[in-house]
C-alpha cells in the first residue's frame, strides 16, 4: 500500500489554460488542466500531437507561463514570476532531459555537468566532486574530459541525465528522452530511470511511445488541451482506473474522464 | 568573481575555436585597424616632433631678424666681381629696436667662416661675434670657464668661448681653458669658456652651435671688419649684423612685437628685401595646427578602419548567435538568466576584438621600427596612442557585440530549443 497522501506535492497545475493568439484565431493549447506531481512519482504524459503535450512540458519546465491558472513548484506559484526568477526556478528546481541530449558540443563532459551550477554561482571543487559522483552513478566514470561528439547517443543521454541531477532538482523532466536511441539503449536508459526512481527521484516524462509510458507508474493522457484520463500502469494490463486514482490523489488530481 | 570571469573568457575562447578561420579573419579586421592606427600615429608623431623641437629651440618668446642676401639681377652680378655687395642689418638698428621695445632683450650676431688652428688640430668653422645676452636668449649654458662679459666688449679683448664639439676637436686631450687658438691668419684668441652640448643648428647653413667659436661682437668688428669674401661667389659682401635676436618677456607680446619690428624695418629694408623676420612661436603654432589636423585625419581614418572591424565582429556574432540558438535554449533551460547570455556573447565579442587588439599592438609597434630602418623616417610611439588604440578596439568589440548579445538573450527559450 502506498501512502500517497503523505507525500509532498512538488509540482501542481491548478486549472491551467494556455492560449496562443495566431492572427485572428486563438489556439487553446491547454484548456483547464489540473494535475499534481508528488514526491517520488514516476509520471508519463502521453497524447497525440496537438494534444497539448509540448505546451504542458514547457510550462512544467518553467519555459512558458500559463495564460490563466496557477503552476506551483514546491508550493510556490511561479506563473507570474519575472524572467530572472523563472530562470532561477529552472536552474534550482527542475532537471531537464531532452530528446536530442542537448549537450553543449564545445564543452567537455565535466564542463557540461557544471553548467547548471555555474548559473547558480556554485562552480568549484564541490561541483567537480559532484560531477564525478554523478558520472559514476550513470555509468560514465572516467569520461569527464571527453567531448560529447566522442560519446555514443546512449552515453550522451547519460551525461544529460547526470547534468539534470547536478542541481538536486525537485523533479526530472524528460522530453522524449529515448526518442533518438535504439531499443537496447532505450532499455538501458529506462533502467536507469528505474534506479533513480528507487532512490526517490521524482520523474516526469513526456512521450508518445507507449513502451516508454508503461514503464512509469502513472500515465496522464492529454487530448485537445485537457486531461483525458490518468492510468495506473502498475495495475493489471493497464486497466483504466480513473476513479481510483482520483481517490488516491485526494480528488483534485484531474478533471479528466469527461473529455 | 575573477574565477567566473576567467571561466567566461575560457568559454569564449572555446566557442571561438569552433570556427578558427572565421574567428581569425574577424580578428584580423581589428588587428589591422589597431596596427595601422598605432603605426600612422607613430610616423606622424615622429615627423612633427623634429620640426616642433626645432621651433621650440629657436625660442618661443623670440623674434629673429636675419640679414638676407637680396636676389641679384643679371645685370648687377655681371658688373664687377670686385665691387662690394652691401646688405642686411646695421649695428644701430639694435639700439632702435631696444628703444621701441624697452622690455625686450636684444642681441646682435655676426657670423663668418674662418679657419682655426690649435697645434696640430685644425678646423674651418663659423665664428660668431655676439654679446653678453646671447646666452639667455638662446637658452645655452657654460659648462667650463665663463661666458663673454661687458668688459670683453668694451676692451675688445681677444677671448673666445668654444662650442662643445669644437672644443673636443681642437683640444682632444687637454682642458682648453687658458690656451690660445689662432683664428684666421694672425689673430690669437684665448679660450675662456666651453659651452654645453646642444645638438642644434646655429645658422641656415647647417653648422651646429656646438661647432662654433664665440667672440665679443666688438672684437669681431675690430679684428675682422664687416666685409667678408663670399667663397661661393668670390665676391666681397658687407654685412654689419647677420642676425638680431629679440627676446620678449612673455609669449603674449611676441606677435605684437613682430608687427612693430616689421613696421620699423620696412623703410630701410622693405624695398631691398634684405632682412627676414622669423617668429618661432608662429611657426610652432602653425606646425602644431598642422599636427592637429594631421592627427584628426588619422583619427578619422582610424575610426573608419576600426568601424569596419567592428562591423565584421557584429556580422560574425550575429551568425554565431543564429548558429548557436540551440545552445542558448539549452543554457536558458538549465537556469541561465538573460544577463548570463548577454555576458557570454559580449565576452566572446570582447575576446575576439581584444585578441585582435593585442596582436595589433604588437604589429603596430613593429611597423614603425621597420619604417625607421628602411625609410630613415623618424617615428615616435607614444604609450598613450598604444593604450588608446587598444582600448578603442576592446570598446568596439563590446559595442558591436551588444546587439547580437541582446538578440541572443531575448530569444524565446522554447523556440530556441526547437531550433535545429
pLDDT tens track for B200-252: 665 556 678 888 999 999 999 888 888 877 767 777 888 889 999 999 998 88
Under 8 Å CB-to-CB from A116, ≥6 apart: which residues?
A91, A163, A166, A167, B334, B335
Q: What is the predicted pLDDT for the residue at A254?
A: 45
B3, B331, B338 ranked by CB distance to A115: nearest: B331
Please indicate, yes or no, if residue A258 is contained in any of the structural domains.
no
Task: Say whether pLDDT at A243 is over 50.
Answer: no
Residue A256, SS3 per DSSP: coil
Q: With left for phi above 0 and alpha for psi between -120 and 50, is residue A257 left, alpha or beta?
A: left
Instruction: Give the C-alpha separation, A66 to A14, whole Å.
Output: 10
Chain B residue with the nearest C-alpha to that of A111: B11
Rounded to whole angstroms, the Cα distance separating B119 from B176 reads 12
Whose cell is 484520463? That residue is A229
Q: What does the pLDDT read at residue A258?
A: 35
CB B178, CB B118: distance < 8 Å: no
Residue B415 sits at the chain A interface (C-beta within 8 Å): no
Residues 6+ apart with CB under 8 A from A53: A45, A46, A47, A206, A208, A222
Interchain contact, B335 vs A83, CB within 8 Å: no
In the predicted structure, residue B76 carries a pLDDT above the cut 70? no
pLDDT for residue B46 is more than 90: no
Task: Specify whether the CB–CB gap between A95 and A164 falls below 8 A.
Answer: yes
Residues facing B244 on adjacent strands: B65, B108
Over chain A, what is the mean pLDDT? 86
- Measured between CB atoms, does B335 come within 8 Å of chain A? yes
Does the pLDDT value for residue A61 go beyond 90?
yes
When comparing pLDDT for A257 and B62, which is higher?
B62
A84–B contact, CB cutoff 8 A: yes
Helix, strand and coil content of chain A, in percent to the nearest 5, comes to 35, 25, 40
How far B48 CA sits from the closest chain A CA (Å)? 51
Show residues of chain A in contact with B340, CB under 8 Å: 119
Mean pLDDT of all residues in B44-59: 79
* Residue A53 pLDDT: 92
Q: Which of A91, A102, A120 sits opposite B330 (nearest CB)?
A: A102
With the CA atoms of B191, B196, B201 and B207 taken in that order, what torsion angle do they form, in degrees rounded to the nearest 10?
30
- ipTM, two decimals, is 0.89
The beta-carbon neighbor of B333 closest among A88, A90, A118 is: A90
CATH of the domain at A225: 3.40.50.300
Query: A28 vs B85, which has greater pLDDT?
Result: A28
What does the pLDDT read at residue A257?
Answer: 38
Please name the member of B3, B14, B337 whose beta carbon is closest to the beta carbon of A87: B337
Pair B160, B181: CB distance under 8 Å: yes
Phi then psi dihedrals of residue B314, to 5 deg: -60, -45
Q: Which residues contact A14 (CB under 8 A, 6 or more apart)?
A: A34, A69, A70, A71, A72
Give pLDDT, residue B228: 78
Q: What is the pLDDT of residues B306-319, one digit of tens each?
A: 888 889 999 999 99
The count of structural domains within chain A is: 1
Cβ–Cβ of B414/A64 closer than 8 Å?
yes
Among A58, A66, A102, pick the best mutation site for testing chain B contact (most B Cβ within 10 A): A102
CA B102 to chain centre: 33
**Closest approach of A172 to chain B, Cα-based (Å):** 12
pLDDT one-digit tens code per residue, B79-115: 555 677 788 888 888 888 999 899 999 999 998 888 8
Given CB atoms, is B334 within the 8 Å cutoff of chain A? Answer: yes
Whether A193 and A32 have beta carbons less than 8 Å apart is answered as: no
Rg (CA), chain B: 33
* E strand or H helix at B401: helix B383-409
- Asked if residue A137 belongs to a domain, the reply is yes
Task: Report the C-alpha gap between A227 and A244 in whole angstroms.
Answer: 16
Q: What burial class does residue B168 get, using C-beta atoms within 10 Å of its C-beta: 0-12 exposed, 13-18 middle, 19+ buried?
A: middle
- Domain range enclosing A188: 7-248
Helices and strands of chain A, counted as H and E runs: 8, 10
Give the per-residue pLDDT at A247.
Answer: 37
Residue A250: pLDDT above 50? no
Q: How is residue B277 written as a grid cell?
A: 623676420
**A93 touching B (Cβ < 8 Å):** no
Q: Do residues B130 and B110 touch, judged by C-beta distance below 8 A?
A: yes
Q: Which sequence spans correspond to the domains of chain B?
A: 2-54+286-418, 62-247
CB A56 within 8 A of CB A33: yes
Residues 6+ apart with CB under 8 A from B93: B241, B244, B265, B268
Question: How many angstroms separate the CA atoms of B78 and B71, rounded?
Answer: 14
Sheet holding A76-77, edge to edge: A25-38, A9-22, A68-73, A76-77
B329, B331, B338: residue with CB nearest A83:
B338
Amino acid at each position: 500500500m502506498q501512502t500517497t497522501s503523505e507525500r509532498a506535492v512538488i509540482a501542481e497545475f491548478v486549472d491551467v489554460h494556455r492560449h496562443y493568439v495566431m492572427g485572428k484565431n486563438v489556439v487553446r493549447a491547454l484548456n483547464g488542466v489540473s494535475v499534481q506531481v508528488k514526491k517520488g512519482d514516476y509520471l508519463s504524459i502521453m497524447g497525440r500531437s496537438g494534444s497539448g503535450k509540448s505546451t504542458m512540458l514547457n510550462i512544467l519546465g518553467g519555459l512558458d507561463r500559463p495564460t490563466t491558472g496557477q503552476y506551483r513548484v514546491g508550493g510556490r506559484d511561479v506563473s507570474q514570476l519575472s524572467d530572472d526568477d523563472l530562470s532561477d526556478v529552472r536552474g534550482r528546481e527542475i532537471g531537464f532531459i531532452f530528446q536530442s541530449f542537448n549537450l553543449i558540443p564545445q564543452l567537455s563532459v565535466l564542463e557540461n555537468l557544471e553548467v547548471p551550477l555555474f548559473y547558480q554561482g556554485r562552480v568549484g571543487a564541490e561541483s567537480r566532486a559532484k560531477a564525478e559522483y554523478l558520472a559514476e552513478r550513470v555509468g560514465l566514470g572516467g569520461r569527464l574530459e571527453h567531448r560529447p561528439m566522442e560519446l555514443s547517443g546512449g552515453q550522451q543521454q547519460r551525461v544529460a541525465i547526470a547534468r539534470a541531477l547536478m542541481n538536486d532538482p525537485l523533479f526530472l523532466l524528460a522530453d522524449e528522452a529515448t526518442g533518438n536511441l535504439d531499443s537496447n539503449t532505450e532499455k538501458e536508459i529506462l533502467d536507469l530511470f528505474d534506479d533513480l526512481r528507487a532512490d526517490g527521484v521524482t520523474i516526469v516524462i513526456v512521450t508518445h511511445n507507449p513502451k516508454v509510458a508503461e514503464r512509469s507508474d502513472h500515465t496522464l493522457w492529454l487530448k485537445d488541451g485537457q486531461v483525458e484520463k490518468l492510468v495506473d500502469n502498475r495495475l493489471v494490463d493497464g486497466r483504466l482506473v480513473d476513479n481510483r486514482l482520483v481517490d488516491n490523489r485526494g480528488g483534485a488530481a484531474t478533471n479528466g474522464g469527461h473529455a | 568573481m575573477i574565477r567566473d570571469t576567467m571561466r567566461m573568457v575560457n568559454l569564449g575562447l572555446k566557442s571561438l575555436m569552433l570556427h578558427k578561420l572565421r574567428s581569425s579573419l574577424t580578428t584580423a579586421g581589428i588587428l589591422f585597424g589597431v596596427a595601422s592606427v598605432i603605426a600612422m600615429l607613430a610616423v606622424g608623431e615622429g615627423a612633427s616632433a623634429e620640426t616642433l623641437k626645432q621651433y621650440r629651440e629657436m625660442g618661443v618668446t623670440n623674434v629673429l631678424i636675419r640679414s638676407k642676401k637680396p636676389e641679384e639681377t643679371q645685370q648687377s652680378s655681371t658688373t664687377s666681381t670686385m665691387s662690394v655687395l652691401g646688405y642686411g642689418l646695421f649695428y644701430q638698428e639694435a639700439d632702435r629696436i631696444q628703444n621701441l621695445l624697452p622690455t625686450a632683450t636684444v642681441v646682435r650676431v655676426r657670423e663668418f667662416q674662418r679657419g682655426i688652428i690649435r697645434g696640430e688640430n685644425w678646423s674651418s668653422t663659423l665664428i660668431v661675434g655676439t654679446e653678453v645676452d646671447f646666452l639667455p636668449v638662446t637658452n645655452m649654458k657654460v659648462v667650463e670657464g665663463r661666458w663673454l662679459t661687458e668688459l670683453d666688449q668694451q676692451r675688445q679683448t681677444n677671448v673666445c668661448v668654444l662650442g662643445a664639439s669644437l672644443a673636443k676637436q681642437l683640444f682632444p686631450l687637454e682642458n682648453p681653458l687658458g690656451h690660445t687658438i689662432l683664428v684666421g691668419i694672425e689673430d690669437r684668441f684665448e679660450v675662456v669658456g666651453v659651452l654645453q652640448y646642444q645638438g642644434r643648428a646655429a645658422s641656415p647653413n647647417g653648422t651646429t652651435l656646438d661647432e662654433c667659436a664665440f667672440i665679443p661682437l666688438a672684437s669681431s668688428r675690430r679684428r675682422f671688419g664687416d666685409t667678408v669674401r663670399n667663397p661661393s661667389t668670390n665676391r666681397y659682401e658687407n654685412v654689419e649684423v647677420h642676425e638680431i635676436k629679440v627676446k620678449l618677456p612673455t609669449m603674449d607680446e611676441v606677435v605684437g612685437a613682430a608687427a612693430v619690428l616689421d613696421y620699423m624695418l620696412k623703410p630701410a629694408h622693405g624695398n631691398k628685401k634684405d632682412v627676414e623676420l622669423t617668429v618661432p612661436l608662429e611657426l610652432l603654432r602653425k606646425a602644431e595646427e598642422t599636427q592637429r589636423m594631421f592627427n584628426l585625419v588619422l583619427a578619422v581614418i582610424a575610426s573608419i578602419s576600426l568601424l569596419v572591424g567592428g562591423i565584421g565582429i557584429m556580422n560574425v556574432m550575429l551568425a554565431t548567435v543564429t548558429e548557436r540558438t540551440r545552445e542558448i535554449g539549452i543554457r536558458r533551460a538549465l537556469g541561465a538568466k538573460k544577463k548570463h547570455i548577454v555576458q557570454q556573447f559580449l565576452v566572446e565579442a570582447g575576446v575576439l576584438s581584444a585578441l585582435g587588439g593585442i596582436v595589433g599592438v604588437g604589429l603596430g609597434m613593429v611597423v614603425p621600427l621597420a619604417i625607421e630602418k628602411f625609410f630613415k623616417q623618424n617615428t615616435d610611439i607614444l604609450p598613450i596612442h598604444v593604450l588608446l588604440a587598444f582600448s578603442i578596439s576592446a570598446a568596439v568589440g563590446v559595442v558591436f557585440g551588444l546587439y547580437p548579445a541582446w538578440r541572443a538573450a531575448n530569444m524565446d527559450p522554447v523556440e530556441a530549443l526547437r531550433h535545429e
